[in-house]
Amino acid sequence: MKRLTIRARLTLVYGGLFLLAGVVLLAVTYVLVEQRMPGTVGVALNKTRLPESTAGRVISPNDAEQFRIFARQIQDEARDNALETLLTQGGIALAVVSAIAVAFGWLIAGRALQPLHQITGTARRIAGAGTAGHGLHERIALDGPRDEVKELADTFDLMLERLDQSFDGQRRFVANASHELRTPLALNRSLLELAVTRPGAPAELTQLGETLLAVNERHERLIDGLLTLADSEQQVVERTPIDLAEVVGHVAEQMRTELPVHRHLAPAPTAGDPVLLERLTQNLLENALRHNVPANGQVWVNTGTFDGWVTLVVANTGPVVPGYEVETMFQPFRRLRQERVGGGRGFGLGLSIVRAVAGTHGGSVRAEPRHGGGLVVTVLLPAEASLRAVPHHHAPPAVPTATLGPRPELPVGDPAPLAGPARTLR
């Protein structure tokens, strides 16, 4: 059962109390008038002395009694008419005034709750700005008297300020630590390369140097991923118009893989940081290629537009992904259980960077298991036209997967149709 809003409940309470007060006032008035009218008229009749003769005719006691009875009937009828008129006219007036009071109550309640709507709107924009603390720089800054609502807004602003400082400190720590670690890693790489390429180096030393170079390269890639994650969590200040389909085509052309990549690239104009958007696309494609089946594996890449948003959908064949583990894959350093056991080359930063880049551009990322194995990842970013018209403060819509491209129920080897040129990369 849907509950009434606070505004509706306040209006009902205000209108109910007003109606109750009006009914009580009308009832008290009715009782007072009813008690007052018979006494006044009755006393007037008792004090009235009828003449004993009129125009030479003597009035008998019987005629005088009949006159008093007739006067009393007129009195009772006048009293009943007056009380009935009081109830009818008073009831009508009370109903009209109550309706006006309810209307004013609705307006007054809306006016009183306006600061709460401002607080809710700010919280909704911050919640829709993505993860990693995006949008925490915004404040309510409520004006008005120092009342309970003003104290609530100020407390909320203080909480946002502390959260913003916490996230900024975390990002600065990751960036600074990553920068500090790159220097010794670069020095280690130079020394190892010098030792390996030195003339007359023993075979054991060469083998050990190559192993250490591979470990050093892995650490460098980890540091590079942390730097990218820290950079992608910063707010995008300058946005460059860019077609996401061109970015996908460029990244796909640079990749060399034995697996077929089916591309259905419809125009997807957006605006943002080209470097970050290229890294987003690269991470999605590398993730789809790396976590695939050894033989007969395939990847589908689609771009397009939907309801003022540009879409990028990447689907692949691969191992079955449990639905309850999909969300954990977007957390840093989190991978599937079998990959952690198998010691895969990934660090668990790819999808974290994808979500951070999408969030800082005002978009979102969602993933769902593909029927038969694999994953379908959908990225939504604001279209360029909608960014020029009005900034996006609302959350991206829930887009049906069938509308965007490769559906989870597609059989292996059957790319999903989508408007736009289709190409296959091998």
Q: pLDDT tens digit string along 88-101?
A: 888 899 899 999 99
Residue 375 is predicted with a pLDDT of: 92
Domain count, the chain: 3
CA 297 to chain centroid, in Å, comes to: 37
Q: Higher model confidence: residue 178 or residue 400? A: 178
My answer on whether 228 and 355 are in the same domain is no
Q: Which whole number is the average pLDDT over 254-282?
A: 88
Q: Residue type at 76? A: D
pLDDT digits (tens, 9 = 90+) for 109-160: 888 888 888 888 888 777 765 554 556 777 888 887 788 888 888 888 888 8
My answer on whether 206 and 342 are in the same domain is no
My answer on whether 268 and 416 are in the same domain is yes
Query: Per the domain annotation, does 143 fall within a domain?
Result: no
Question: Coil, strand, or helix at residue 188?
Answer: helix
Query: Per the domain annotation, does 193 fall within a domain?
Result: yes
Query: Per the domain annotation, does 141 fall within a domain?
Result: no
Tell which of 179, 204, 232 closes a domain: 232
Residue 346 is predicted with a pLDDT of: 54
Tell me the C-alpha distance between 31 and 90, whole Å: 13
Residue 204 is predicted with a pLDDT of: 85
Q: Which whole number is the average pLDDT over 171-177?
A: 75
Tell which of 127, 158, 180 closes a domain: 127
Query: Per the domain annotation, does 138 fall within a domain?
Result: no
- Domain of 184: which CATH number? 1.10.287.130
My answer on whether 394 and 332 are in the same domain is yes
My answer on whether 256 and 283 are in the same domain is yes
Residue 411 is predicted with a pLDDT of: 38
My answer on whether 252 and 393 are in the same domain is yes
Instruction: Categorize the per-residue pLDDT at 377 as very low, low, confident or very high, splitting at 50, 70 and 90.
Output: very high
Q: Which whole number is the average pLDDT over 23-40?
A: 79
My answer on whether 21 and 93 are in the same domain is yes
Q: Which two tokens stand for residue 298?
A: 């395939």
Q: Higher model confidence: residue 60 or residue 298? A: 298
My answer on whether 192 and 252 are in the same domain is no
Instruction: Categorize the per-residue pLDDT at 415 as very low, low, confident or very high, splitting at 50, 70 and 90.
Output: very low
155: CB partners within 8 A, 6+ apart = none
Residue 1 is predicted with a pLDDT of: 58
Q: Which whole number is the average pLDDT over 31-39?
A: 74
Q: Higher model confidence: residue 170 or residue 322? A: 322
Q: Which two tokens stand for residue 225?
A: 């991923």
Residue 59 is predicted with a pLDDT of: 63
Instruction: Categorize the per-residue pLDDT at 347 as very low, low, confident or very high, splitting at 50, 70 and 90.
Output: low
Residue 402 is predicted with a pLDDT of: 44
- Strands 299-306 vs 261-265: parallel, antiparallel or unpaired: parallel
Query: Per the domain annotation, does 133 fall within a domain?
Result: no
**pTM exceeds cut of 0.75:** no
- Strands 261-265 vs 269-272: parallel, antiparallel or unpaired: unpaired
Residue 380 is predicted with a pLDDT of: 93
Q: Higher model confidence: residue 40 or residue 306? A: 306
My answer on whether 286 and 306 are in the same domain is yes
My answer on whether 186 and 38 are in the same domain is no
Tell which of 181, 211, 232 closes a domain: 232
Residue 77 is predicted with a pLDDT of: 82
My answer on whether 166 and 31 are in the same domain is no
Q: Which of 309, 335, 301 is nearest to 416 (CA)?
A: 301
Residue 269 is predicted with a pLDDT of: 93
My answer on whether 91 and 190 are in the same domain is no
Residue 311 is predicted with a pLDDT of: 94
| Integer-rounded Cα radius of gyration of the chain | 41
Query: Per the domain annotation, does 54 fall within a domain?
Result: no
How high does pLDDT run on average in the chain? Answer: 77
Instruction: Categorize the per-residue pLDDT at 40 as very low, low, confident or very high, splitting at 50, 70 and 90.
Output: very low
- Domain of 284: which CATH number? 3.30.565.10
Query: Per the domain annotation, does 134 fall within a domain?
Result: no
Instruction: Categorize the per-residue pLDDT at 173 as very low, low, confident or very high, splitting at 50, 70 and 90.
Output: confident
Query: Per the domain annotation, does 410 fall within a domain?
Result: yes
pLDDT exceeds 90 at position 268: yes
% of the chain at pLDDT higher than 70: 76
Residue 343 is predicted with a pLDDT of: 43
For residues 252 and 426, the answer to whether their CB atoms sit within 8 Å is no
Domain that holds residue 42: 6-49+59-127
Residue 343 burial class via C-beta count within 10 angstroms: exposed 0-12, middle 13-18, buried 19 and up: exposed
Tell me the C-alpha distance between 140 and 160, whole Å: 10
Q: Which whole number is the average pLDDT over 348-360?
A: 82
Residue 221 is predicted with a pLDDT of: 72
